[in-house]
Amino acid sequence: MYKLLILFCLFTAFDASAQTNNLLATENQTTGSAINISVSAPDNRNGDDFFSEADITEKKGDLFNALTLFGKAAFEYNSTHQFSNYGSALLRMSNVHMMLNNFAEAEQVVLNVALKNYSRTHNIHGEMNSYRQLAKIYLASDKLTQALWFSTQQGILARQLKSDNSYMESMLGIATVKIRKKQYTLANKDLNKAELYAKTTNNTRFRSQLTYARNQIASHSNSKKLLF
């Protein structure tokens, strides 16, 4: 069983860069691996307070402060053994790192902390969301082989959990990777499969994303015709 040891570090209050780069080291005592999570010194608010404030701060576009607040929420949740919420805060931290183009940090938060937390607590839904987040990170950083693999793993767990939305996301993720690879015929097949699944499950949530993917393929086809 993995045990996480969390050490606080103090940061300069107005230095957003320091908040991102200085350390809250979460160590795996078995392997000695570490992940850096940025937080400031604790105060009297609880994990839910920090998480709610972080969510609002992120939506305002203040990503450095959102990162700090999600880190505080993660610390509080872990301290009070709210491990599902702990994982959610970690995934939101990862997503903010990704938005800041800190792809290595975004990846490591999920691989070294969130996935271990979900594995330790046997939270399959959390593992599925971690695979989804990793697929997004690898797609954004143009690591297409990894993005394809994690989108596929997300889909496997989505079927196991009977999560229609997550399964649709995984199929769209797979198709998007193939479009990036210019494998348009294969991408079309994946989109056909996704559209059939959406129709079967009466799911209209992903209609715009399906249309966008189709338009990307059509745009390539039209461009190719103009060359001849």
First to last CA, the chain: 61
The boundaries of the domain holding residue 137 are: 123-228
pLDDT at site 25: 45
Within a domain: residue 108? no
pTM of the model: 0.80
Cα 60 to chain centroid distance, Å, stands at 20
- The per-residue pLDDT string of the chain (228 residues; one tens digit each, 9 = 90 and over) reads 333 333 232 232 223 333 333 333 443 443 344 455 545 455 668 999 999 999 999 999 999 999 999 999 999 999 999 999 999 999 999 999 999 999 999 999 999 999 999 999 999 999 999 999 999 999 999 999 999 999 999 999 999 999 999 999 999 999 999 999 999 999 999 999 999 999 999 999 999 999 999 999 998 766 665 444
DSSP β-bridge partners for residue 26:
6, 35
Number of other residues whose CB lies within 10 A of the CB of residue 215:
10
- What SS3 state is found at 4? strand
Amino acid code (one letter) for 145? T
Question: Can you give the CATH number for the domain in which 195 is found?
Answer: 1.25.40.10
Per-residue model confidence (pLDDT) at position 219 = 86
Give the per-residue pLDDT at 224: 62
Asked if residue 57 is part of any domain, the answer here is: no
Q: Please report whether residue 199 resides in a domain.
A: yes
In a domain, 59, yes or no: no
Q: Hey, is 35 helix, strand or coil?
A: strand
> Which residues, including other chains, have CB under 8 Å from residue 206's CB and lie 6 or more apart?
168, 169, 172, 194, 198
Establish if 112 belongs to a structural domain.
Answer: no
Number of independent structural domains in the chain = 1
Residue 160 lies in a domain: yes
Three-state DSSP state, 101: coil
Residue 80 located in a structural domain:
no
Strand-pair partners of 25:
36
Asked, for residue 148, whether it belongs to a domain, the answer is yes
The most distant pair of C-alpha atoms in the chain lies apart, rounded to whole Å, by: 68
